[in-house]
Amino acid sequence: MKLLTGEFKNTLDEKGRISLPARMRSELPGATLILTQGIDDCLWLFPPQQWEELSGKLMEHTSPFQARSRLIQRRILAPAQEVEIDRLGRISIPQALREFAHLSRECVILGISKYIEIWNAEDYRAYLEANKEEFAKAAEELQGVNL
């Protein structure tokens, strides 16, 4: 699989379906994806292999006997659902996940190398605005990254 990158705007239809950009679809290894709650009130969409790697690592490093571990398991692993890309390039987002991410009509789809984020467009704009200074600080800390 090649890297998934790009920022795209798309609309969620009345049935809770959203089209994945053709450029992203062409980079995916198949028509089955795993959709779950992300951090920062967005959804995460993974190709099956990346999901297996992440969920395996999370289970390896968490325990049902620790409260914080259970929270991670319940927030990321438990809500995960398999979705299929239909012949028109759409995925259907289950109601519970749409509600979690406050998805309405206008959405932003972000390719983040090995996974995709789906955001409510207004929430994403607000997130970027609220984190301008934090981004500048984080960029300053990337001392070992050179062009």
Res 144: pLDDT = 73
Q: Could you give the 3-state DSSP secondary structure of residue 75? A: helix
Largest CA distance in the chain: 46
Q: What angle do CA 137, 114, 126 make, to 5 degrees?
A: 45
The answer to which of 23-27, 30-34, 52-56, 94-98 has the lowest mean pLDDT is: 23-27
The Cα–Cα gap between 32 and 44 comes to: 14
Q: Which residue has the tokens 């239909």?
A: 86
Residue 40 burial (CB < 10 Å; 0-12/13-18/19+)?
A: exposed
The string of pLDDT tens digits covering residues 28-63 is 989 999 999 999 999 999 999 999 999 999 999 999
Res 142: pLDDT = 85
- Compare 120 and 138 and report the one with higher pLDDT: 120
The string of pLDDT tens digits covering residues 80-92 is 999 999 999 999 9
Res 49: pLDDT = 94
Q: Could you give the 3-state DSSP secondary structure of residue 127? A: helix
pLDDT class of 147 with cuts at 50, 70, 90: low
